[in-house]
Chain A
Amino acid sequence: MSAIRKQLMTLRVRRGGAGEPPRYDAFEVPYEPGASVLDALRWIRADVDPSLAIRFSCVNANACKECVVLVDGKVDYACTARLQPGAMTIDPLDNKRLIRDLVTDIVPPKERLDNVVKERTRKKG
C-alpha cells in the first residue's frame, strides 16, 4: 500500500480557546478513500502539531461517542465521517462550552472535578 502515492486533501480546523478570536489552521493531510475525519485529526496530532486538542477514546468503533464535532457545519462523529477529496472544515460543537480547539465540555456536570470538589466540601462543611 505504501507504494501507492498518497493523495492529499485540506482540512481546515478551528483553533483557539474560550474567549480567543477564532482562527482556522489549514492542514494538508493524506487522503485515502474510506478514511475518517478522526484518522486525519490523529495524523495531524502525531505528525504535524501535537498541540491540537481533540477528544476521542475508542478510535474507530463509534462506541465511546466522545469525538462529536461539526463537520462542514453539521454535527457528526469524527470517527464515522468520511474524508472527502478537496477541502473540509472542522469546528467544535457550537452549543457546548468551548475548552480549546475542537474540545468542548461534554462531561456530565457531576463528573467535573470542580463540581466534585464543591460537593465534597459541602458534605463535610
Chain B
Amino acid sequence: MTREPIHLSTDVLVVGAGGAGMYAAISAARNGADVILADKSLVGRGGATIMAQMTVAAAVGHQAPDHWTHHYADTIAAGRGLCNEPLAAILCEEAVARIHEMDGWKVGWARENGHMKQVAAPGHSVPRCVYVDFLNTGPAVAKCLRTQVAQGANIARISGLSITDLVLDGGRVIGAVGFNLEDGAPVTIAAGAVVLAAGGLTGIYRRNSASANMGGDSYALALRAGAALIDMEFVQFFPIGHLAPRLVGMDPIMWDPFRYKLGGRLLNGKHEEFIHNYGGTDSGKYTAMRDVTSYAIVKEDEAGRASPHGGAWLSFQHVPEKELRAAFGPVIDRLLKNGIDLTRQPVEVSPIAHYHMGGVRVDAQMFSGVPGLYAAGEAVGGANGANRLSGNAIPETFVFGERAGRYAAETVRVGRPAWNPQRAARALDEIRRRSGAGATKPAQRGPEYHGLAKQLRALMWDKVGLIRTGAGLTDALQSIRAMQAALNDETSAGEEAFNLSLQDWFDLRASLTTAEAVTLSALQRTESRGAHWRDDVPRNDPAQEHNQAVALKDGALSLSRLPVVRTEVARQEAHAAQ
C-alpha cells in the first residue's frame, strides 16, 4: 500500500514552533512572505522556550545605566575566546529592540515604579535580566508569541507534523518531507526557504532539562542538507538542577531564580561552602559562572563530599519566610505541596544538561551557506562561544528568529525554486520503510531502539558529559556508530494513528548523528575550555583558540578548524563603553 503524500507549498517553512520559530514566522510574514510554521508537538507548547523560568538579558537600562556594548563585553568574556563576535554583537544590540517589541505585545515583563525590573545574573556586570513573575517567563513569552502568530494572516500553523528530511535540488533547499503524527500520512512541503528552529540537543543526555523534542533535530537536518555545524563540543550543564527530593510540576532549573532573588548557599555533603576552592566565590551570593560551578560540584562528588544523592546542598534556611513569600508567592506553596519547606530543609542539586552553545554555522543573516536554508534560536551556533551567560538564550530566540524570518522572506522575493517531487522520493521511502506497516515481525512489542535511546543517553552522560577524556570519547564514538548500524535494522511499532514510535525512530536517527558530531568535536579539542572539560588535558591551550566545524563529506562526518570570527568595530565599542 503506497499512500500519496499530502502536498503543500509556501514561501517560507519554519521547522519548530518554540520562541525562535514563532518569531521567525512573525518576521517572515511581516516581510511579505507566506509562511507554514510546523511543530511535531503543539505550536508554541513544545520546545525549550515555554520552560524558561526567569532571566531574559537585554541592556534596556531600566534598573541601572547600561548599554548593549556592556552586555556584549560580558558575553564575550563568558565565551572564553570563542564567540563569533558579529553574532554576539547582533544578539546584544538587537535584544533591546526585541524586549521592547515583546513589551508592546503585552508579554508582561515584571515592573516597579513604572520601569521594567531587572535582576543581576552571574557574569552580567549590571542588573540586566527582565522576567515575568513568578517563574513565568517561558509560559508568558510562549503565549504572547502564540497570539502574535495567530494574528498573522499569512501564517499557517501545523501541530503534530514531524519533519524528517529537507529536500534539495541542485544544492538548494526546495522544501521538506515529514509525516502527520495523527494518522501517519506522508507530507511534502515545497518552500522557497526553510528556517530550522527545532531547538537544541540536551535530550541526548541522561540528566537533562529538555522537553521531549530536544534531541538534536535541527543539527541532523542541517548536516544532511549539507550545512556545517560549529562548536559542537560545547554543551552547557546547568550546575544546580534539582536532584532530590522528587519534585513534580516544576522545571528542574527552577533554583536559578531563587538564587537571583535570594542568594542561597551552595554547600557540599559536609555542609561547607566549596566554590572558592575552584576559583569562584559563593558566600550566599550567586556570582560563579555555570562552567565553574558545574565542575566544582562534580569534583566534590569525586572527592567523596557529595550530598546523599550525589550532588550538593542548596540552602535558603537563613532566609526568613516573609522574604521567601515576597519573592516567590505561590511557588512557595507549590513547593510545600511537594513536601519541601525551604525554611526547614536544604534541597539537593546537581548539574543537568541544559543548553547547547554549538549549532548550525550561520552568517549575520542566519544563512547557513546552503541556498534556501536558515537557522534560528538554539539551533544556531557561535554567538555564545564556549560558555553561555545566564539570560542569553531567550533573547537569542527573539533576535535570531526575527533575522532568520526577515532574510528568508527576502531571499524568496528574489525567486522561488521549482518543486521537484523526485527529489523527495528517498525521504518518503524512508518514512514508509520505518512505519512498520506490513512488518513481518508479529505485534512489534518493544523494538530494540527504545533500549538504544536509553543507552545513548547514558553513554553521552558518562563519556561525553561534563568531564571527558580522550579514551572515553574514543569509546563513545565507537558505541555511537554501532548504535547507528543497529537502528538501521529497526522499524516502528506499526500503528497507523499516533505512531509515536515512528517519531521515536526519526528522533533517534537525529540524536545519533548529533551525538556523533558532539563526540568527534570533543575528541579533537585536546584542551579544557568553558563547558568542555578534558580530565586528560586539564588546562586551557591558547593555541586552540579556534572554532571547529563539522560537516558531512561523502556520508561521513568530517571536522575542520576555523579562525574565530572577530569584529573590530564591536570590540572597540565594547572597549570604549568600559
Contacts and interface: CB of A to CB of B under 8 A. Distances in A.
A74 interface: no
Interface in A18-61: 18, 32-36, 45-61
Given A49-B446, A61-B251, A113-B187, A17 B157 contact: no
B50 A53 contact: no
Contacts of B495: 51, 53, 100
B248 A80 contact: yes
B537 interface: no
A113 B182 contact: yes
Contacts of A94: none
Contacts of B159: 107-108, 111-112
B158 interface: yes
B248 A79 contact: yes
B450 A63 contact: no
B302 to A, nearest CB: 18
Given A34-B246, A103-B498, A116 B8 contact: yes
Contact of B51 (A61, A100, A113): A61
A89 to B, nearest CB: 19
B89 interface: no
A19 to B, nearest CB: 11
A105 to B, nearest CB: 8
Interface string B490-513: 001111011111001000000000
A103 B497 CA distance: 10
A61 to B, nearest CB: 4
B500 A65 contact: no
A65 B8 contact: no
Contact of A46 (B42, B43, B158, B453): B453
A62 interface: yes
A62 B250 contact: yes
A51 B501 contact: yes
A82 interface: yes
A72 interface: no
Nearest to B213: A57
A15 B374 CA distance: 41
Nearest to B157: A111
A46 B497 contact: no
B498 A58 contact: no
What range describes how many residues of A lie at the interface? 35 or more
A75 interface: no
A34 B251 contact: no
Given A50-B501, A82-B248, A64 B161 contact: no
A66 B41 contact: yes
Contacts, number: 151
Contact of A113 (B160, B210, B250, B494): B160
A100 B497 contact: yes
B45 A101 contact: no
A111 B157 CA distance: 5
A120 B34 CA distance: 11
Contacts of A103: 498
Given A56-B212, A100-B495, A50 B504 contact: yes
A122 interface: no
B355 to A, nearest CB: 15
A120 B158 CA distance: 12
Interface in B400-446: 444-446
B509 to A, nearest CB: 15
Contact of A49 (B6, B249, B445): B445
A57 B45 contact: yes
Interface centre among A35, A52, A64, by most chain B C-beta atoms within 10 angstroms, is A64
B334 to A, nearest CB: 9
B251 to A, nearest CB: 4
A-B interface, 10 closest residue pairs, ranked by CB to CB distance from nearest: A34-B246, A51-B493, A61-B251, A57-B46, A62-B249, A80-B249, A111-B159, A100-B497, A53-B498, A50-B501
22 contacts: A33-B246, A34-B338, A46-B450, A50-B446, A50-B447, A51-B445, A51-B493, A53-B497, A57-B211, A60-B252, A61-B51, A62-B248, A63-B251, A64-B41, A77-B249, A100-B495, A107-B160, A111-B157, A111-B160, A113-B187, A116-B158, A117-B8
Interface of A: 1, 17-18, 32-36, 45-66, 77, 79-80, 82, 99-101, 103, 105-108, 110-113, 116-117, 119-120
